[in-house]
Amino acid sequence: MQMTGNTILITGGNSGIGQGLASAFHALGNTVIITGRNQKSLEAVAAAHPGMTALTLNVDDAADIQRAAQQLIGDFPQLNAVIHNAGMMAEEDLKQGAADVAEAHIATNLLGPIRLNSALLPHLLRQPRAAVLTVTSGLAYVPLSLNPTYSATKAAMHAYTQAMRYQLADTAVQVIELVPPYVRTRLQGERQASDPNAMPLEDYIAETMDILSQQPDVQEVLVQRVHAQRFAEQRGEHAAFFHRMNDMLVASRKG
């Protein structure tokens, strides 16, 4: 991926990994547009980065995606990159049959990026060079038992990204998957934001940007902290990793 001279849309750019990526790409001189549900936090991030644009968007709303896509293409005809980052992560007790929580994950984490990608891809294909970046998770490869639908949506996005890369191989659109490990953000509230076992956000962003800079043709951005999850199956360690990770989580909750 070329790191400068882009016009980049970042969904969920008002917090966490999205905000970190928005700040990093903005610092390199790119034109950055961030979206999110909370107009106040969007405006605060944009105000801290002169020249950054904020646009309210509910990625779980198909009509709002169409509205935003048309506005973006009209206001930013040079738009040539999108980072599908917006997402939600909530715990589920499957014994209670919380289908509404599962459906919310699917609408936000899976249908949202697919719908937005479908709306923007015809425009991106007309650019001299373009990039689509999806944000999945190490949980796409080894799922967390307390977050079954979140893990499933990230596995689905990995498959979607891989298929999209193959379909677009003969175009000027580069397809990149970002695979974060457990990162210190507020995705699951204050507990995650202050968890010493989580990778510091600034470290994740720095390593990710370094990989993108040093490997312009990269297909998967894998920081060192996520390698154990990403390659557990390949190394024949998936079952052991899965039980160790989930047993530790259950034990920590009991403690």
DSSP H or E stretch at residue 36: strand 31-36
Question: For this structure, is 160 an active site residue?
Answer: no
Catalytic residue chosen out of the listed positions 150, 160, 182, 204? 150
CB atoms within 10 A of CB 192: 17
Sheet holding 7-11, edge to edge: 53-56, 31-36, 7-11, 81-84, 130-135, 173-178, 220-221
How many CA atoms lie within 13 Å of 170's alpha carbon, on the beta-carbon side? 1
What is the rounded radius of gyration, in angstroms, for the C-alpha atoms of the chain?
A: 18
249 contacts: CB under 8 Å, gap ≥ 6? 144, 145, 146
The residues annotated with a catalytic role in the active site are 150
